[in-house]
Structure 1
Amino acid sequence: MNTKNKKIGLAEIEKQFGPLTFGRLLKSHRIGENLTQVEMAKVFKMSKQSLNDLENGRKIPSIRRAMDIARKMNVLEELVVQLVLQDHIRREKLNFTVSVKAA
């Protein structure tokens, strides 16, 4: 029996659960904070439906709005910008990967 812990990276996670998106990050953060959509929507000053649309990828926020959300979530802005840009690229069915470096 192998008792060694296997390290799981992003590639393995994405293989099992799909690509990391802005919506998935937003939803996992909300669940991790034990907030309802109504509670989190109030924090972001948006409707519950707008939050639901973002979480489920029906809408992708502007970069500026995503950065505002990142600040309120206390998440790295660079990560959120990268995810939003990648979501836009994915929606257009382009074969690019975004890499963002902080200034």
Structure 2
Amino acid sequence: MSIKSKKTKKTLKEIENITKIQLSFGKLIWAIRKADALSQTDFATKLKISKQHLCDIEHERKSVSPKLASKYAKILGYSREQFIRLSLQDLLDREGLNVQVEIVSNRSRKHDNNARMVA
């Protein structure tokens, strides 16, 4: 089963409801890899990273920058905004900051600053 067409914020919330855990970037990458029935080696090759680095991302030992999250979204054909949101949320959570990230599309804003943090 592929979840490639599932690109919306609603879908990510549904995944959180099913798994009963807050979705992280690593968990999302793991779910996509499993849904596409790819080995870590094949998936890492697709992302142009090492298998060990992918394993570290999936197990939340390594963070992914928003820029890399955007790159991975493009490679995999997913929502850039949601990959970036999860990447930023992971970074804030690691720092112990009680802040929720929400991405607002540039299409609905007049200026370039498209990330908003809500306390």
TM-score by length of 2: 0.73
- The aligned amino acid for 2:71 is D
Structure 2 Cα separation of the partners of residues 69 and 59 of structure 1: 15
Contact 1:14–1:20, Cα closer than 8 Å, also in 2? no
2:49 aligned to which of 20, 24, 46: 46
Which residue in 1 is equivalent to 2:104? 101
3-state SS of the aligned residue for 2:103? coil
Q: Which runs of 5+ in 1 are unaligned?
A: 1-8
Seen in structure 2, the aligned counterparts of structure 1 residues 67 and 13 have a Cα distance that, compared at 3 Å, is: closer
Instruction: Please tell me whether residue 58 in structure 1 is matched to residue 61 in structure 2.
Output: yes
The one-letter code of the counterpart of 1:38 is T
Cα separation, partners in 2 of 1:16 and 1:38, compared to 1, 3 Å: closer
Cα displacement (A) at 1:16: 5.1
CA–CA distance in 1 between the matches of 2:73 and 2:19? 25
CA distance 1:32–1:11, shift in 2 (3 Å): closer
Q: Percent identity?
A: 32
Measured against aligned partners, the alpha-carbon deviations of 1:35-86 in whole angstroms (never above 9, x if no partner) come to 0000000111110000001111111111111111011111100001100010
In structure 2, the gaps of 5 or more residues are: 1-11, 107-119
Secondary structure at the residue paired with 1:99?
strand
SS of match in other structure, 2:101: coil
Which whole-Å CA distance do the structure 1 matches of 2:32 and 2:13 have between them? 17
Match of 1:24 in 2: 27
In the TM superposition, residue 14 of structure 1 has moved relative to its aligned partner by 5.0
Task: Name the count of aligned residue pairs.
Answer: 95
